Amino acid sequence: MLTADRLAGGVLVALALGVLVESRALPIGSLRNPGPAFVPAVLALLLLGFGILLIARRGPVVRAADAGWSDWRHAVAILAACAFAALALERLGYRLTILIVMVFLLALVERRGVLATSLFAVALAFGSYYLFGTILRVPLPLGPLGF
């Protein structure tokens, strides 16, 4: 049975092995004179140990599937909005990017009405720019249209 601990342990083991493989490109040095790969390799071995312990231990059995993943649609939508922001921020500019993110979240994900979505999206995109960009003087990117 795939328990939460086994799933997490498996991921940690895979990550530790990945770090060990990647560390081969760096000089490991010696016990007396550690190189740049030494500490990462020691940590990866520790992580490998903890991962194996998690897989093998007899703790409270919680199935990974029972962790309550029903909110995954919202989680994916939020990640997608965030990824779009990362891609578009320096291309489209701050205000346009945030406007699109808000319309996506409010109209498509939350199914809010056109008026509420438009008002909130415009207010947040331009209001937050005014707060951070103008008042607090945080340099926020401008798009090709100059805003």
Residues that bind another protein (CB under 8 A): 4-5, 7-8, 12, 15, 19, 22, 26-27, 30-37, 39-40, 43-44, 46-47, 50-51, 53-54, 57, 59, 62, 64, 67-71, 73-75, 78-79, 81-83, 85-87, 89-90, 94, 98, 101-102, 105-106, 110, 112, 120, 124, 128, 132, 136-140
The least CB distance from residue 129 to another protein, in Å, is: 9
Would you state the structure tokens that stand for residue 138, as one six-digit string? 């945080």
Report CA-CA distances (Å) from 49 to 37, 42, 70.
18, 11, 32
Least CB distance to another protein at residue 118 (A): 13
Burial label, 98 (beta-carbon count in 10 A; 0-12, 13-18, 19+): buried
CB of 146 to another protein, least distance (A): 19
SS3 state at 142: coil
How many other CB atoms are there within 10 angstroms of residue 118's CB atom?
16
DSSP code, position 31? S
Question: Looking at beta carbons only, is 46 or 114 nearer to another protein?
Answer: 46
Q: How far is the CB of 109 from another protein (least distance, A)?
A: 8
User: How far is the C-alpha of 57 from the C-alpha of 95, rounded, in Å?
Assistant: 51
